[in-house]
Amino acid sequence: MTALDTDTIAAIATARGDGPVGIIRLSGPKALTIATTISQHHFEPRHAHLCVFTNACGDVIDSGLGLYFPLPHSFTGEDVVELQIHGGHIVLQALLSRCLELGARAARPGEFSERSFLNGKIDLLQAEAIADLISAETETAAQLAASSLAGVFSELVDTLATDLNELRALTEASIDFPEEDIDVLQRHQVITRLHSCNTTITTLLRDVSTARKRTQRHTAVLIGAPNAGKSSLLNALAYDDIAIVTDQPGTTRDALKETVQIGAALLDIIDTAGIRSTTDVIEQEGVKRAKASGSLADLVLHIVDDSHPIAIDTDWIPLSTPIIKVFNKADLTQRALGRFEGEASRNCVALSAATGEGLDELASIVEETLLISGHQHSTFSARQRHVDALAEAEQLLAHALEQFSVHNAAELLSEDLKRVQTAIDTLTGRVSSDDILGQIFSSFCIGK
């Protein structure tokens, strides 16, 4: 697609609902003509013009600013006009309707970003980063998305793609002389470079997995004996009075969920019924639900009343689920606040949900346990799609290395490398299907 053979799209680019300022964005060959007709104004490129926008009868819709960004130096690579007016939904809808009357088409979700991608202004990783920046739920997620948008991830992928390309050229050079096998020097070079690409892919995969963990929501379940202070801890972490706290054992029965930011982690914390044997049918159901939540969680926080410890059965927690043991009510005991190493090298922390002391230390243990602490460095945002593509590339490259070591066959290696390249090229969108593009851009908001 080029800028010239598309239609012109229009959408409200600001969030739904009333606000002080609202923006209509137009992109495509008719953008400037439509804006000129609506405002009777001449637009200088990249200048802000104060205009009066009118409907077909010449009645004023609103006055505001108009900005024109001529192709190709615009977000979409096409002629783009932005009209800024008051942000009431009726007035915005009236201006949008006028743009549609004059020949624009209502934009689909993500269509501006899609055009930007199709016109080569950004690659697919950057397009995804725009959506991730808009939907970021934590400062860390926003920072990582901003750096992906600036091209940090794309640059690493491009360097890898170039290396793979050179390696394939080197391999294919020997196919031109079918009677000769790859000579010793060349074979050595190829193997060294295969190993180097392998290392790059493995490092990228590690960074991408870390980035994913740093930006995704995790589920943490609070379990423990009745009265250990689970609900008090939830309230302390949420800075809110979410769960009922009493000194009566068995207060919490339903599993309560609250989203809380702890350090860099965004956690869905589930408070549960205290685990004990009981004849109360409702409480029995609560205990069943507590175990069901705990079995699915990314992290279990096992709360113990350190002033009156009661052992509970934890055998039902899957072995792969990390457990942090929280010794609560440290204000009533002699135990020093903060972390210590407990049985089976399990992470333990002493704190007081009542006073809030020791919560910082819990936050850093949570970050470390979920592999999202500061020293587990990642400098860009990532999605599951990226993890999958890199894992596939890693597997294909391992296969290529093995085949080449055994058969020393340039043709086979070249074919294998082509597959690795395809997996890598899906990241930036150099290779993409309509299905994948549709899936990615349809999850964007309208006007972006």
Cβ neighbourhood burial of 171 (10 Å; 0-12, 13-18, 19+): buried
Nearer to Mg ion, 93 or 251 (CB): 251
Name the minimum Å distance from CB 303 to ligand GDP: 6
Helix (H) or strand (E) holding 53: strand 48-54
Among positions 28, 64, 110, 224, the unique one binding ligand GDP when judged by CB under 6 A: 224
Choose, by CB under 6 A, the member of 25, 30, 121, 230 that binds ligand GDP.
230
- The DSSP annotation for 410-421 comes to HHHHHHHHHHHH
Residue type, 429: G
* Strand order, beta sheet including 299-305: 256-262, 265-271, 217-224, 299-305, 323-328, 347-350, 338-341
Q: Compute the least distance from the CB of residue 339 to ligand GDP, in Å.
A: 17
Question: Which residues are CB-neighbours of 293 under 8 A, at least 6 positions away?
Answer: 219, 221, 255, 270, 272
Place of tokens 């702890």: 262
> Nearest-CA neighbor of 204 among 426, 372, 386?
386
Contacts of 3 (CB under 8 A, 6+ apart): 28, 29, 71, 72, 76, 77, 78, 79, 119
Instruction: Find the binder of ligand GDP among 328, 373, 376, 421 (CB under 6 A).
Output: 328
- Minimal distance, residue 8 CB to ligand GDP, in Å: 59
Q: Assess 431 for contact with ligand GDP (CB under 6 A).
A: no
- Do 112 and 45 contact (CB within 8 A), yes or no? no
Cβ 272 to Mg ion shortest distance, Å: 8
**At closest approach, how far in Å is the CB of 338 from Mg ion?**
24
Selection from 394, 392, 400, 398 nearest residue 416 by Cα: 400
**Per CB under 6 A, 200 contacts ligand GDP:** no
Residue 378 interaction partner, one of Mg ion, ligand GDP, none, beta carbon < 5-8 Å per kind: none
Q: Give the nearest distance from C-beta 232 to ligand GDP in angstroms.
A: 3
Smaller CB distance to ligand GDP: residue 64 or 229? Answer: 229
CB of 14 or CB of 231, closer to Mg ion:
231
Q: In terms of Cα–Cα distance, which of 158, 80, 139 is closest to 113? A: 80
Q: How far is the CB of 286 from ligand GDP (least distance, A)?
A: 11
> Phi and psi for 92 in degrees, rounded to 5?
-65, -40
CB of 230 to Mg ion, least distance (A): 5
Segment near ligand GDP (CB under 6 A); pick from 159-167, 294-302, 327-335, 380-388: 327-335
Print the binding letters for residues 353-392 with ligand GDP: x by CB under 6 A, - otherwise.
Answer: xx--------------------------------------
Nearest approach, Cβ of residue 261 and Mg ion (Å): 22
Interface with ligand GDP: number of residues (CB under 6 A): 21
Report if residue 332 touches ligand GDP, rule: CB under 6 A: yes
Which residues contact residue 378 at a Cβ distance below 8 angstroms, ignoring those fewer than 6 apart? 144, 207, 208, 210, 211, 214
Are the C-beta atoms of 233 and 326 separated by less than 8 Å? yes
Question: In the bound complex, which residue of the shown chain has the CB atom lying closest to Mg ion?
Answer: 252
Tell me: does residue 286 bind ligand GDP (CB under 6 A). Answer: no
Taking CB atoms within 8 Å and a gap of at least 24, the contacts of 338-343 are 339/365
Taking CB under 6 A as the criterion, the residue among 228, 304, 362, 372 binding ligand GDP is 228
Mask for 235-254, x = binds ligand GDP (CB under 6 A): ----------xxx---xx--
Question: 144 or 297: whose CB is closer to ligand GDP?
Answer: 297
98's CB contacts (< 8 A; 6+ apart) are 38, 53, 55, 56, 61
Of 230 and 448, nearer to Mg ion (C-beta) is 230
Per CB under 6 A, 447 contacts ligand GDP = no
Residues that bind Mg ion (CB under 5 A): 230-231, 251-252
- Of 118 and 233, the one with the shorter C-beta distance to Mg ion is 233
Burial class (CB in 10 A: 0-12, 13-18, 19+), 420: buried
Write out the two tokens for 446: 């309208």
Q: Is 229 in the site for ligand GDP (CB under 6 A)?
A: yes
What are the residues binding ligand GDP (CB under 6 A)?
Answer: 224, 226-232, 245-247, 251-252, 274, 328-329, 331-332, 352-354
